[in-house]
Chains A and B, each alone.
Chain A
Amino acid sequence: MSARRFDAGRAGYFALNGAIVTFLLAPIAIVAVFAVNPTPYISFPPVGVTLRWFEKFFSSEDFMNALWLSLQVAVAVLVLSMLIGAACALALARGNLPGARVLTAFFMSPLMLPAILTGLALFQIYLLAGIGRPVWGLIMGHTLVAVPYVLRTTLAVLHNFDRRIEEAAAILGASPVRIFFEVTLPLIRPGVVAGGIFAFIVSFDQFPISLFLVLPKGETLPVVLFNYMKFDLDGAIAAASMVSIVMAISVVLLLEKLIGLKAYVKL
């Protein structure tokens, strides 16, 4: 491309896209401003810098219990969805299952069906079964919506998998079990781990399912934040939000390093 004279169409194109990127990022950035602004309610422009909201967040028993519960649930969901999702991906890609395409669409469907209905339906069946609202029930609900992420990233890796490597190992005398642990597993690991990271953040941020399945005083962080925001909008919410934002940014950087975001988006 050569340097050219001013081109209105081109300038408009970039201005429009600049505005769209600002629309995407500015709301996230503004939260950081309110997290350190000392006024007792949300007000603009900021008048100073304080850490009192972070202090309030990290010293509040309600917030900390919720954060701790959310992290525990997210770790459980990470492990479960990695195991279930990776096994399922192997079966779908390698099992010669009849109707594998329909099955894949079925396993992906929790992503598109209203999560609030998944919450309602689980709430109703737990009630019918008379088991109340146990934490493991919440974990299973989260796992259900997290498995599709692991399935997607693992299937993508399996799709690009050169099976001749496994055949080479077999020719050299490796047993099927050894081939699985020494060849297949290391090769699909990036996809499974990337899916697991998605599963963790999906669970940590999950709201509609949790809304139905948490007990009073045993709520996850997003539910506690939502209930707080119904009555009060102050810097403590902004500080709590920063936790979620920092986590999202770390996950994005981690994924980029691990498998490349581009590989993920191509699916």
Chain B
Amino acid sequence: MKILVCVKQVPDTNEVKIDPVKGTLIREGVPSILNPDDANALEAALAIKDTEPNVTVSVLTMGPPQASEMLRECLAMGADDAYLLSDRAFGGADTWSTSNTLAAGIRKIGDLDIIFAGRQAIDGDTAQVGSQTAQRLDVPVVTYVQDIELQGDKVIVQRQMEDGYELIEVATPCLLTAVKELNEPRYMSISNIVNACKKEITVWGHEDINLSPENCGLKASPTQVFRSFTPASKGKGEMLNGTVKEMSTSLISKLKGLHVI
């Protein structure tokens, strides 16, 4: 069984702060990490490899050359091989372009039983690339997967809903997007770290995956960023003073004065 996991290197947006004076992003010292939902996707693939015979797990990303650091991390978690789609022509891609490039890379890898992806990346939060890649590959997709059970050439998955879940049957090959409730990603192991250092990462540009520059990156993106700005702060209100009792009384009388309670 061949499994592929689509991953993305992202800035740890939990570590990003806003400069209180200039109102701009402070990027310094913000680490690049394996996108959290993608770690769950990789764990799901590795868990299958742990229990089933003859499973290979590949990881695939599109990104700048430094994304190979994250791919080494995936190898050190237990992935068998890694592919990096890296080309200036891929830069500035929206989800339309990204999915087009990933699908071209996946076609070249070929013959997969299950493709995993994270539900969404924490830098964009779109949750679009997994579904769109599946559409381009013409394989069925189930998003928000929180539980997986293999049954021969079928997969039974729980698809998370806002108020519960749906139990869904889908035939392989298929693409599944993982949410964090799916599992707890493993740590890198010492032996895998040693192996990971020895492994070659396959790097492909647009010609390797038979994609013309017009069909990838910013050029092919239907959506464009018109402008970006830091969200306006609501502005600090009033800090109440005094004892707990005084503050509580004051709060209630203010809210009553505003007719909100």
A and B from one complex: no
Which A residues fall within an 8 A CB radius of B? none
Which B residues fall within an 8 A CB radius of A? none
